[in-house]
Structure 1
Amino acid sequence: MATPTNHYKLGLFVLLGLAGAIVLGVLFGAASMRSETSKYHSYFNESVQGLDVGSPVKFRGVTIGHVSAIEIAPDHRRVDVVSELDSGDIRRLGLTEADTSKHGRAGGKARFAIPPDLRAQLGSQGITGVKFIAIDFFDVKSNPPPELPFSTPHDRYIPAAPSMMKNLEDTITKAMDRLPEMVDAVVMIMGRVDRLLAKLEKEDVSGKVGATLGHADDVMKVMQKTLARIDAQDLGAKAVTTIEAVNASLARMNAVIDRLDGDAGLVASAQHATDAFGEMGRAGRGTQRDLETTLRDVSEAAAAIRSLAEAIERDPDMLLKGKTQVSRRAPR
């Protein structure tokens, strides 16, 4: 026989369960209300599909908050994502700056430190497409802060960086835009290659190359024979002997040059002799005038002797008659 159902106990159990659920809800709600948070805005110039309110916000993989709102930015082009960061978490991780504006002293409400190279980026979890906000450091040169056509909240703005999917999409788009140009360049190159091959075939370049290779083979054979003769005649040792003889001759020439050179060398002696001749020439200039006078006197004496000889030839008796008579018999 079935036991009758105790409705009193069942109702009491249901009431106690509801009361416990309400108490737990109140406790969790109170705890969440007591938790201190800070809101920061980021403006993404891309689709945020897969990102929902409540999605985690992570700093280098560590959860520090969640997404509290997703709105359209004032320019109606970007998406305004509000990240609500837990002050306890960011304080525990040492990512805060003390806000002294409250009560005029440090130790007030904590705020998230935003250095110039800090960026917010869309990240994906696995292959499910669920997105989250990843906060990390980026190179300022390659990821400068975006120029926004509207004002941003003071000290509550984290610049956004393009996601990896956005960068990949932009790269593919640029490549696709250049694809027609690349195809035209490839077609032009293929046409030039085709014309070059046709020209080579027309000029029988392959046959000429074969003949050239055959000639090169003959030349190599001749060189091998020549090298074999050189080895057989031991020209290498003879060349070494010749080089040694040339070196000895050069040494002797150096010795001769050393004898010619220097203060006691032949060149110096010749220079001294030249200087002596110059001194003699300068000394002989003084006696040149005396020599000219003597030669002039000798010339006058020769002229007188020549006149005497002519007179004797005209009158042989002049020496016997004397000069006076000769003078008297001068022609009238």
Structure 2
Amino acid sequence: MIRKNDYFKLGLFIILGTGMLLAMVIILGAGRFFETTYPLETYFDESVNGLSVGSPVKLRGVQVGRVSQINFVTNIYPEAREREIRYVYVLCEINPDLFDDMSEEEFDDYVRRESKRGMRIRPTSLGLTGQLFLNTVYQDAESNPPLPLDWTPEFAYVPSVPSTLSRVEEAVTTISKTLSSLKQEDLQSIITDVKSIVGTIDDFMKTQGGQEAGERMLDILQSTRGILSRTDKLLSDPAAEAIIPNVSAITANVSRITEESADNIINAAAETRAAIASFKQASQVLSRTLTDPRMDKAMGEIAPTLENISQASADLAAAVSKIHALVNRVNGNIAAEEGALHSIIEDTREVLQNVKELTEDAKRYPSGVLFGNPPTKPNPETK
């Protein structure tokens, strides 16, 4: 038999369990409200069936955010209503932790810069389920221009490109339109022309010239087979496996050197062009100078001058020879009288020494030098 206390405990357990469940849901769900995310928007001019709020946004396979809002552009930007633009508006929340903690302004600049380089958003299927996610890819910016806009995006904007399925559908539609535009008469005419060409080729192949052409084709195919066989042997050689990476590395180095030296090469080319232009101008000036009649007259006057210079050079060489002989005779005389010169120098040195002593005595005892005997030498021992 259940007692009243059991009802109380059961009710308390249910209330506490429900409260704990609600608290867990609130805690797990409220964490998203405290996350810092950067908004990013894009527009699609196609169906986005399979894309929903919460779908991942990936950059080269790495999830960087999620879809937070899907709407029509006309509901977000009233300017789009004037042209009746039917783009689909998609707003995404991007996690800044995956972008080196950029500020929102830096993130906007990064998105704008990368969009100019070809960054695009493409709806991509997850598989057979039909669910879509937004994949950020890099395409050629010129062949994939952004959609025409009559408004300024409120947040960071990345242009979109059609999905692969949309492109396949467009190609199939184009082919279908092309086939449907062909008339029955055109098809019959094409088939008749093809039959005629095939019949002509068959008739030619039955002739002697056609058989010779066939034999030549067989010879060419056999030669090609031999070349391919030898090429396969060369490529299967272990040495080729080492050569190919080396060639690749050399090519990469040459490409790197070329890129690094591009400015120098351009400057060198410009300087070479300027040097060639200067050389051409100098050649023209020289040509005009040589063809000038006054040049012939000047050359006629230069010839006697050159003869006079030659004669003067010969006279100068003779004078130099005479001076050289004179110097040799002087050196011989000096060498012969070296002893006498040494005696004269010694005597001169003694005379100068005596004159120096006499000058010192005259400075100290001028009266004694002129009128009397020299003074007695002082004796330091007596006072």
Paired amino acid for 1:86: N
Match of 1:113 in 2: 110
Q: What SS does the corresponding residue of 1:49 show, helix, strand or coil?
A: coil
2:90 matched residue in structure 1: 81
Name the structure 2 match of 1:60: 60
Q: Judging changes above 3 Å, is the alpha-carbon distance between structure 1 residues 112 and 18 closer, same or farther for their aligned structure 2 residues?
A: farther
Q: What letter is aligned with 1:123? A: T
Alignment partners' CA distance in 2, 1:189 and 1:118: 45
Shift of 1:33: 1.4
In structure 2, the gaps of 5 or more residues are: 75-83, 213-383
Alignment correspondent of 2:27? 27
**Within-5 A mapping of 1:1-332:** 6-74=6-74, 75-87=84-96, 91-94=97-100, 97-99=102-104, 113-114=110-111, 115=114, 116=116, 117-148=118-149, 150-180=150-180, 185-194=186-195
Match of 1:285 in 2: none
Q: CA deviation at 1:29?
A: 3.8
2:64–2:98 contact (8 Å) kept in structure 1 = no
2:378 paired residue number: none
How far apart in 1 are the matches of 2:180 and 2:142?
Answer: 31
C-alpha RMSD over aligned residues: 3.4
CA contact (8 A) 1:42 1:82 kept: yes
Residue 200 of structure 1 and its aligned partner are, at CA, apart by 11
Once the two structures are superposed, residues 143-197 of structure 1 have per-residue CA deviations (whole angstroms, 9 ceiling, x without a partner) of 122222x213155211111110111111111111111456765421322355678
Q: Partner of 2:375 in structure 1?
A: none
| CA 163–26 in structure 1, closer or farther in 2 if over 3 Å, else same | same
Q: Which has the higher strand share?
A: 1
Note the C-alpha offset of 1:112: 8.0
Distance 1:170 1:57 in 2: 25
Partners of 1:195 and 1:32 lie apart in 2 by: 73
Query: Which structure features the higher share of helix residues?
Result: 2
User: Aligned pair in 2 of structure 1 residues 23, 55: CA closer, same or farther (>3 Å)?
Assistant: same
CA drift of 1:55 comes to 1.5
Q: Which runs of 4+ in 1 moved over 6 A?
A: 2-5, 196-201
Q: Could you list the per-position Cα deviations for residues 198-239 of structure 1 after superposition, in whole angstroms to 9, with x for gaps in the alignment?
A: 9999xxx69x957x69xx9xxxxxxxxxxxxxxxxxxxxxxx
Q: Which amino acid aligns with 1:145?
A: P
User: 1:26: Cα distance to partner?
Assistant: 3.1
Residue 228 of structure 1 is matched in structure 2 by none
Greater CA radius of gyration, 1 or 2? 1
Q: Are the equivalent residues in 2 in contact too, given 1:41–1:157 (CA < 8 A)?
A: yes
Instruction: Tell me the distance in 1 between the aligned counterparts of 2:64 and 2:206.
Output: 74
The 3-state SS of whatever aligns with 1:132 is strand
State the TM-score, normalizing by the size of structure 1. 0.50
Deviation at 1:4, TM superposition (A): 6.6
User: For 2:87 and 2:122, how far apart are their aligned partners in 1?
Assistant: 14
Paired with 1:36 and 1:139, the residues of 2 have a C-alpha distance of 32
Q: Write the distance in 2 (CA, Å) between the matches of 1:112 and 1:66.
A: 20
